[in-house]
Chain A
Amino acid sequence: MTDAASLETSDIIPADAEKIEKQVALIQSVFKRFGFQAIKTSTIEFSENLEHALGDYLKQNCIEFFDPSGRRLMLRPDHTTPIARLAATRLKHHAHPLQLSYIDPVFRRDSKAWANDTELLQAGCEIIGDSKPEADASLILCCIDALEALGFSDFGIDIGHVAFSSGLDDAKREALLKGDYVSFGKIPKRCQDFSSAPSDLKAVYELINSKGQADKLYLNEGLVHGIYYYTGLIFQVYVKGCSEILASGGRYDKLCSSFGVDQPAVGFALNLNAIRKAV
């Protein structure tokens, strides 16, 4: 007899499966309405095809094994990197901007014992080939619509920028990234007034404001991290009473170039495991 529950399994029984199916259908219709086309990347990848573009966190936490010939394989640890790989290869000559969406799991062995969702269902969108603030704003609006379709109303969106940590010395930057505000010297400012924000954030704010959704937005000078490949705007969505982030995203203008094609890009993902617990 094996201990059937010894792994962090993600078995889903019919009652939950039905709920997930409904959530997926709601999200799909929102993604479609915003003009995103579904894409499915390979669950198993050759490590050598992805690892040069992954940051330390994903490299250390991805699940790897060998094929019979000894080549290293990994389970897809994130969606954006394989999508960037496709954008730079098979989709290179398709009309840009590419507007792609996915609803599939990623696989990570997170060292945090309580966050042990090895199989993490994500639903997300990527816009590749568009550097304008309209792209960032449309993604955030799509994220808002998806969350509202799932039944959330009282959520907030914190908007940060990688530039908030530039110009800091190493010790200050590390303190800010770690959330050690004693060593950083102050608690980072967070407000709904975007007048002091970098111009790209201000433009995104104005676009979202024109759609009447600016009441959800907070400029957060402490939001400087996320995934290492972010190059500009970063956002995180959270709701009272849930300690996990419901969705997050950001601009990654350099990732595609690590696969040989220079394209600006922006994307976000809903964390459906956290969302399932929060609704």
Chain B
Amino acid sequence: MSDLITIAVPKGYLLKETVKSFEKVGVHFPDDFEQSRRLFTYDTSKRYKLLIVRPWDVPAYVEQGAADMGVVGKDVLEEQEPDVFILKDLEFGGCSLVIAGTEGQRIDSLGHHCKVATKYPNCTEKYFRKLGKKVKIIKLYGAIELSPLTGLSDVISDLTATGKTLKEHDLHILDTVFYSTAQLIANPVSLKVHYESITSISAEL
């Protein structure tokens, strides 16, 4: 099984951890790679090709088959619900999607049609629908914590690892929507074509 396997990985922390995991099972990627501006690289055995992409773009690469496998946060999978197979919980990159608001706010006391700012409209809408609440979702692309302070929204639904940024903006966690870690995913056709290679690296990692 010497077929080349292409893996889409998001730049940053998940890339570092992925390279480390591969290192542990004897797959070496060039050391200077993370500092360089190149967007892809091969391991020394040329069996694996890493594509460096934006976190939100990993499912697109894998779903379309441009990458055979991908490493992606569960948060992105929950939000996009792509047609991919989830092979393994890699257990790094832990964080939570939380509903956060100012002191004194409670989930139960949030009114109908309250405004929620988030990068995760799909998950957030689903969460509130389960509670039987109709909320107005305001889709933002970043600096979500600013939203309740400026009156743009009543609460936010945002990803947090340590809670530090929330605290700095006097925001409190009202509830956790889900816990997220990095997941190893595969394209459904790739898992058939490269079944042995993909299942064995998935078992080793």
A-B contact count (CB 8 A): 50
Pair B202/A187 contact, Cβ less than 8 Å:
yes
CA distance A218 to B191 in the complex (A): 12
Pair B65/A179 contact, Cβ less than 8 Å:
no
CA distance A244 to B195 in the complex (A): 17
CA distance A243 to B86 in the complex (A): 16
Pair B188/A179 contact, Cβ less than 8 Å:
yes
In the complex, how many angstroms separate the beta carbon of B204 from the nearest chain A beta carbon?
13
Pair B87/A181 contact, Cβ less than 8 Å:
yes
User: If A179-B188, A182-B183 touch, does A240 touch B84 (CB 8 Å cutoff)?
Assistant: no
CA distance A179 to B86 in the complex (A): 6
The count of chain A contact residues (Cβ–Cβ below 8 Å) is 20
Pair B86/A238 contact, Cβ less than 8 Å:
no
In the complex, how many angstroms separate the beta carbon of A119 from the nearest chain B beta carbon?
21
Is A172 in contact with chain B by the CB < 8 A criterion?
no
Is B85 in contact with chain A by the CB < 8 A criterion?
yes
In the complex, which residue of chain B has the Cβ closest to the Cβ of A223?
B192
User: If A187-B199, A243-B187 touch, does A182 touch B64 (CB 8 Å cutoff)?
Assistant: no
Residues of chain B with a CB closer than 8 A to A190's CB: 192, 195
Pair B189/A114 contact, Cβ less than 8 Å:
no
Pair A112/B199 contact, Cβ less than 8 Å:
no
Pair A242/B65 contact, Cβ less than 8 Å:
yes
In the complex, how many angstroms separate the beta carbon of A223 from the nearest chain B beta carbon?
9
Is B89 in contact with chain A by the CB < 8 A criterion?
yes
User: If A112-B83, A181-B87, A182-B88 touch, does A243 touch B195 (CB 8 Å cutoff)?
Assistant: no
In the complex, how many angstroms separate the beta carbon of A94 from the nearest chain B beta carbon?
38
Pair B192/A179 contact, Cβ less than 8 Å:
no
B28-69 vs A, CB cutoff 8 Å, 1 = contact: the mask equals 000000000000000000000000000000000001110000
In the complex, how many angstroms separate the beta carbon of A33 from the nearest chain B beta carbon?
28
Is A226 in contact with chain B by the CB < 8 A criterion?
no
Is A248 in contact with chain B by the CB < 8 A criterion?
no
Is A180 in contact with chain B by the CB < 8 A criterion?
yes
In the complex, how many angstroms separate the beta carbon of A199 from the nearest chain B beta carbon?
24
CA distance A52 to B23 in the complex (A): 55
User: If A114-B64, A182-B183, A243-B65 touch, does A238 touch B85 (CB 8 Å cutoff)?
Assistant: no
Pair B83/A238 contact, Cβ less than 8 Å:
no
Is B110 in contact with chain A by the CB < 8 A criterion?
no
Q: Which of A114, A156, A181, A182 contacts B192 (CB 8 A)?
A: A156
Is B193 in contact with chain A by the CB < 8 A criterion?
yes
User: If A187-B199, A187-B202 touch, does A243 touch B189 (CB 8 Å cutoff)?
Assistant: yes
User: If A114-B64, A243-B65, A243-B187 touch, does A156 touch B193 (CB 8 Å cutoff)?
Assistant: yes
In the complex, which residue of chain B has the Cβ closest to the Cβ of A240?
B193
User: If A218-B192, A238-B189, A243-B187 touch, does A179 touch B85 (CB 8 Å cutoff)?
Assistant: yes
CA distance A156 to B190 in the complex (A): 12
Query: Besides A182-B89, A187-B85, 14 other CB < 8 A contacts?
Result: A114-B63, A158-B192, A179-B84, A179-B86, A179-B188, A180-B85, A181-B88, A182-B87, A187-B199, A238-B192, A238-B193, A240-B189, A243-B64, A243-B190
Sort A-B residue pairs by CB-CB distance and give the 4 closest, nearest first.
Answer: A243-B65, A179-B85, A180-B86, A238-B189
User: Could you pull out 29 A-B pairs where Cβ atoms are within 8 angstroms?
Assistant: A112-B83, A114-B63, A114-B64, A156-B192, A156-B193, A179-B83, A179-B85, A179-B86, A180-B86, A181-B86, A181-B87, A181-B88, A182-B89, A182-B183, A187-B85, A187-B199, A190-B195, A218-B192, A218-B195, A240-B189, A240-B193, A243-B63, A243-B64, A243-B65, A243-B188, A243-B189, A243-B190, A244-B189, A245-B189
